[in-house]
Structure 1
Amino acid sequence: MHNDTLIEPSEGPAFAVRRPDGASEVVLICEHASKIMPKALGTMGLDEAALSGHIAWDIGAQRLAEMLSDRLDATLVSHRFSRLAYDCNRPPESPGAYPERSEIFDVPGNAGLSASDKARRADALYHPFHQAIDGVIDERLAQGRSVVLVTIHSFTPVYFGKQRDGHLGILHDDDSRLADAMLDAAASLELSQVSRNYPYGPEDGVTHTLKRHGLTRQIANVMLEVRNDLICDDTGRAIWAARIGELLNASVERLKTEEGRLHA
């Protein structure tokens, strides 16, 4: 393609917003919601199994996020294209935004990208998505509303051949207020296999969205990782939407009572 736009008008936009007028303080984000590849990028040199697998998207995360959105009446901003085209939880300067390799898979379509190739991807896929999040959050803050940022992800039970036994990871960067409250709530509900900064942590570069939208505005924020075999069907997703909804409700109420600690 010789035009500057990566996504054709019929394919766009790069993001979707569910419940834009949601009453909840919680704003949900799903960066890896979709396995759809922009037509201009073809198959990126990958077979159908890879394009449908966890390297292309967070399996189950979007439907889980939708169920949470409906349960909480929370606005949800989701990305509509595969993280292989652009990983929206990475800034444009990060090589991980355009992964040349994901777990055990080489991604030929991302090999040797030029600076202009990367800029074209970021302009089409990264900037519109994050500007949409900025718009949702800033409008609420301008109205004097409290905002809590929650990103929804899933992880594969086997990674580089190693088994992962955890069920739910509660991740944070420098601001641990919401994560602390959720971990306490999980303990009081006797939820097993819930861990802090699992299966990744800030040192793995996975907190970009939290930093860009949460830390900069000093709003409480957390990244949630659910093992994808637990949310591979609507029955499992409903169970986890209920659990996470309960954890979030308890945690947000706790932060509100602790001297309005939704804002640092």
Structure 2
Amino acid sequence: MSEEIVDHIRNNSQAPVFFVCEHASSFIPECFNELGLVDPARSSHIAWDPGAEAVTRILADRFNAPAVINRISRLVYDCNRPPDAIDAVPQKSEIFEVPGNKNLSGAQITNRVENYYLPFKRTLEKAIEEHQVAPMLVTIHSFTPVYNGQKRDVEIGLLHDDDSRVVDAMLNSIAGYQEFNIRRNEPYGPSDGVTHTIRLHGVEKGLLNVMIEVRNDLLTCHKDCTSIADTLESLISAALGQLAKDKTTKAVVL
């Protein structure tokens, strides 16, 4: 089943960066009867991160890097949440109720974990373990410009948990930068429970890591996705260069 729901591309690459996209698809397997949803909810941002997969694939191509891409809607199971998270199988997302996720038994939740979360987790773990260099883990997401009626001004969010090294380096590289509104830990942060992947597969393994959020009105077509990928490529390259330099400097001092 993991081969059907998880796409692992360029698994032989040994690039210094490794991409992940947990919310690439709005696909709901037929057995769930669309979770009782109809459009616009069924195809809206509550089901996936529009544009995130396109940006992930562009960046993976640019860096000749591997990527692990989840193929199932986060409404079936949100692979950026641990099994004990209350919103791993959300009963409500923003203003939309999810009928097919209500009143689930323990066995039904366990089924979602075993069939959708664990294959993704194991694929990612194995892919990272087989990578011969310690890569920078970069997860790509998108977010809606209006959430619960509130407009969001931030355009690109650089998120971190306990390890802020990559975000620090990225922000240091854009002093005076004006093209996009880029902020630290916005529109979400660790307190919102969104850093599961970078914490489990990055922080706890000692890998450099960052979660990148892009406002989805900036990702409406391939040209837009390419433009955003240009900016993210520059941020990632700058961080890789700065952190490699810092590591070399520290080694010399020691």
1:24 aligns to 2:30 (yes or no) = no
> 1:101 aligns to what?
92
Give the Cα–Cα distance (whole angstroms) in 2 for the partners of residues 251 and 81 of structure 1. 31
The residue type equivalent to 2:98 in the other structure is: V
| More displaced 10-residue stretch of structure 1: 41-50 or 150-159 | 41-50
Q: Once the two structures are superposed, what CA deviation does each residue of 1:169-192 show, in whole Å capped at 9, x if it has no partner?
A: 000000000011111123254443
> 1:3 aligns to what?
none
Q: Once the two structures are superposed, what CA deviation does each residue of 1:40-80 show, in whole Å capped at 9, x if it has no partner?
A: 11111110211110000001100111111111111110100
Give the Cα–Cα distance (whole angstroms) in 1 for the partners of residues 122 and 241 of structure 2. 28
| More displaced 10-residue stretch of structure 1: 36-45 or 167-176 | 36-45
| More displaced 10-residue stretch of structure 1: 11-20 or 163-172 | 11-20
Match runs of 1:101-250 below 5 Å = 101-140=92-131, 143=132, 145-187=133-175, 189-250=177-238
> 1:13 aligns to what?
4
> 1:40 aligns to what?
31
Give the Cα–Cα distance (whole angstroms) in 2 for the partners of residues 12 and 259 of structure 1. 37
Aligned-residue sequence identity (percent) comes to 43
SS in structure 1 at match of 2:205: coil
Decide whether the 8 Å contact of 1:33 with 1:58 is kept in 2: yes
Normalised to the residue count of structure 1, the TM-score between the two structures is 0.91
SS in structure 2 at match of 1:195: strand
Decide whether the 8 Å contact of 1:157 with 1:228 is kept in 2: yes
The residue type equivalent to 1:108 in the other structure is: P
1:55 aligns to 2:46 (yes or no) = yes
Give the Cα–Cα distance (whole angstroms) in 1 for the partners of residues 57 and 205 of structure 2. 25
Give the Cα–Cα distance (whole angstroms) in 2 for the partners of residues 26 and 86 of structure 1. 26
Decide whether the 8 Å contact of 1:65 with 1:152 is kept in 2: yes
Give the Cα–Cα distance (whole angstroms) in 2 for the partners of residues 54 and 131 of structure 1. 26
The residue type equivalent to 2:182 in the other structure is: V
- What are structure 2's unaligned runs of at least 5 residues? 250-254
Decide whether the 8 Å contact of 1:14 with 1:124 is kept in 2: no
Give the Cα–Cα distance (whole angstroms) in 1 for the partners of residues 180 and 33 of structure 2. 42
The residue type equivalent to 1:28 in the other structure is: F
The residue type equivalent to 1:82 in the other structure is: S
Decide whether the 8 Å contact of 1:186 with 1:194 is kept in 2: no
* Root-mean-square deviation over aligned CA pairs: 1.5
Give the Cα–Cα distance (whole angstroms) in 2 for the partners of residues 12 and 71 of structure 1. 24
Give the Cα–Cα distance (whole angstroms) in 1 for the partners of residues 248 and 32 of structure 2. 47
Decide whether the 8 Å contact of 1:32 with 1:82 is kept in 2: yes
